[in-house]
Amino acid sequence: MNKQLQYDLNNTRQLLTQALEEGLSYLQNINAAPTSAAKATTDFAPLPTDGAGGSDALSEFRKRFKDLMVASAGPRYWGFVTGGTTPAAIMGDMLATIFDQNTQTVKGHGDLSGIIEFETIDMLKELFSLPDDFLGGFVTGATMSNFTCLGVARQWVGKQKGVDIAKKGVPSIFPILSAVPHSSSIKALSMLGLGSSNIQIVKTIDPTREAIDIAALEEKIQLLNGEPFILISSGGTVNTVDYDDAQAIAGLKEKYNFWWHVDAAFGGFAAISPAYAHLLAGWGKADSITVDGHKWLNVPYESAFFFVKEKHKLLQVETYQNSNAPYLGDPLENFSFLNFLPENSRRFKALPAWFTLKAYGKEGYREIVERNISQAMQLGEFISQSDYFELLAPVRLNTVCFTLKNSDSIAVQTFLDRINDSGKVFMTPTFFNGRKGIRAALVNWRTTEEDVKIVQKEMMKAVS
């Protein structure tokens, strides 16, 4: 064995303790740590011929890169939709690394960590009050979950037309309807060979809303004359957290032949709160659902889940089976995750989710979700009473979409740069209803009312 490697093997405990201490010092300071990075280095160091061991690697990391680590897991990182990591999720994630299972199977010999993934998916269905007839699994993010679900949808449309698309390829374009699809669904359509420009946009209820106009949707469906299609609906849009009416769509599904996909990457968490669960009423009848883990579940990147109705199992296997490997056996007989989703070898991604679900339970998550929502409302209240700011949409859940009063796009960007430069809070730009705006999305378990006040103060500093 390489001498340095042998040395590190002998000192594994000290090395892991050092790394843990490094991480703990980040966590201890996370409330005060900047939400924007210092200047990045562009002097890249070469690959060493002889390595210096883990301890020296840590020293070099600390010296060159540590200051670039922003408090993205902290309480005031409100850009995009960025979750943090609960203590138990970190425990599970560390152990997932150490155990390094290649999570696949649920019976037989060898690695059986898939059983824990099954149990985790069951807990998630319970958390979201989803019916039991979904088959679920972990992928790296909502983008990949949308891809996974829409891949099965593609196979379904093919079957309706008598074509096995997984084998023969996409024969012709077919209709895909949506009102406000997330950019990642459009990306998934391009990856799936369905053509990102083949989405037929259905209008929303009115220009200030992002929820689909059900009557307009039904008109479009009737124009299709019975042709099978895919509907991508929103379970929480990123700008204004608007929801397509799932109950109404479930009704349409009884009349027309289509695949119904719901992108509920973070909005799915409304299901945990009795006060907001109505926003998703009916979503359990969808053919497939996307929910993110690394957002509101507060597990580390990369984590998301797909839920596809179990009755579509064969379509799912046809799409994702790793069929040229006879040693893997019959995919329907011998369950293995690699036949149900894009990845073959897989990280034990369920473990951090398993830990955090066990640690905090349904009540723990209800509290996080409701707290973040009330904080978003608190910020929304401040904005609507301000002389300087205005809301671009009412605060429906956990996201505040706002802009500067009587200002052009340049002024809005200047303001955003200022507050982001403060390092106290991070928000991201958007465009809504013809106006440049700013989004603050609250999905971090650490955030307190005090954090919202800190941000309000920074916002006032940045306009004065």
Ligand X SMILES: *Cc1c(COP(=O)(O)O)cnc(C)c1O
> Where on the chain is the footprint of ligand X (CB under 6 A)?
81, 141-143, 182, 184, 238, 263, 265-266, 292, 304
Nearer to ligand X, 399 or 407 (CB): 399
Structure tokens that stand for 290 in this block = 């996307």
Residue given tokens 């042709």 in the structure block: 227
Nearer to ligand X, 166 or 395 (CB): 395
Nearer to ligand X, 150 or 315 (CB): 150
Nearer to ligand X, 187 or 371 (CB): 187
Contact 90, 360 (CB under 8 A): no
Task: Tell me the Ramachandran region of residue 241: left when phi exceeds 0, alpha when psi lies from -120 to 50, beta otherwise.
Answer: left
Nearer to ligand X, 304 or 395 (CB): 304
Supply the minimum distance, in Å, between the C-beta of residue 346 and ligand X. 16
Supply the minimum distance, in Å, between the C-beta of residue 391 and ligand X. 20
Supply the minimum distance, in Å, between the C-beta of residue 343 and ligand X. 14
Nearer to ligand X, 251 or 282 (CB): 282
Nearer to ligand X, 160 or 428 (CB): 428
DSSP label at residue 238: T
Nearer to ligand X, 299 or 462 (CB): 299
Nearer to ligand X, 90 or 238 (CB): 238
Task: Tell me the Ramachandran region of residue 328: left when phi exceeds 0, alpha when psi lies from -120 to 50, beta otherwise.
Answer: alpha
Q: Look at residue 410 and give its three-state secondary structure.
A: helix
Cα–Cα distance for residue pair 287/253, rounded to 1 Å: 10
Contact 34, 71 (CB under 8 A): yes
Nearer to ligand X, 147 or 337 (CB): 147
* b (16+ CB within 10 A) / e for 273-311: beebeebbebbbbbbbbbbbbbbbbbbbbebbbbbbbee
Cα–Cα distance for residue pair 308/298, rounded to 1 Å: 23
Cα–Cα distance for residue pair 267/235, rounded to 1 Å: 5
* b (16+ CB within 10 A) / e for 113-137: bbebbbebbebbbebbebeeebbbb
Supply the minimum distance, in Å, between the C-beta of residue 7 and ligand X. 39
Contact 290, 146 (CB under 8 A): yes
Cα–Cα distance for residue pair 336/323, rounded to 1 Å: 12
Read off the amino acid at residue 109. Answer: H
Cα–Cα distance for residue pair 353/300, rounded to 1 Å: 9
| H or E stretch at 319 | helix 313-320
Kindly list the distances between the CA atom of residue 44 and the CA atoms of 40, 41, 55, 303, 340, in Å, as whole numbers in the listed order. Answer: 11, 8, 20, 30, 40
Residue given tokens 């993934």 in the structure block: 117
Give the distance, in angstroms, between the CA of residue 274 and the centroid of all CA atoms in the same chain. Answer: 22
Supply the minimum distance, in Å, between the C-beta of residue 6 and ligand X. 40
Nearer to ligand X, 301 or 388 (CB): 301
Supply the minimum distance, in Å, between the C-beta of residue 292 and ligand X. 5
Supply the minimum distance, in Å, between the C-beta of residue 78 and ligand X. 14
Supply the minimum distance, in Å, between the C-beta of residue 409 and ligand X. 24
Residue given tokens 């303790």 in the structure block: 17
Nearer to ligand X, 392 or 397 (CB): 397
Supply the minimum distance, in Å, between the C-beta of residue 1 and ligand X. 39
Q: Which residues contact 404 (CB under 8 A, 6 or more apart)?
A: 388, 389, 390, 411, 412, 415, 463
Supply the minimum distance, in Å, between the C-beta of residue 283 and ligand X. 13
Supply the minimum distance, in Å, between the C-beta of residue 426 and ligand X. 16
Contact 452, 378 (CB under 8 A): yes
Supply the minimum distance, in Å, between the C-beta of residue 234 and ligand X. 7
